[in-house]
Amino acid sequence: MDNVAIVVDDLRAAVAFFTELGMELEGEAQVEGVWADRTVGLDGVRSEIAMMRTPDGHGKLELTRYRAPEASAPEPHDPPPNTLGLHRVMFAVDDIDDTVARLRAHGAELLGEVARYEDVFRLCYLRGPAGIIVALAEQIG
Residues of the domain holding 31: 4-68
Structural domain contains residue 24: yes
Tell whether 63 and 95 lie within a shared domain.
no
Task: Give CA separation, 79 vs 3, 23, 41, in Å.
Answer: 22, 25, 24
* pLDDT score of 73: 80
Structural domain contains residue 77: no
Summarize pLDDT for 10-50 with one digit per residue, the tens.
999 999 999 999 999 999 999 999 999 999 999 999 999 99
Structural domain contains residue 52: yes
pTM equals: 0.91
Half-sphere exposure of 26 (CA within 13 A, CB side): 16
Structural domain contains residue 111: yes
pLDDT at 108 > cutoff 80:
yes
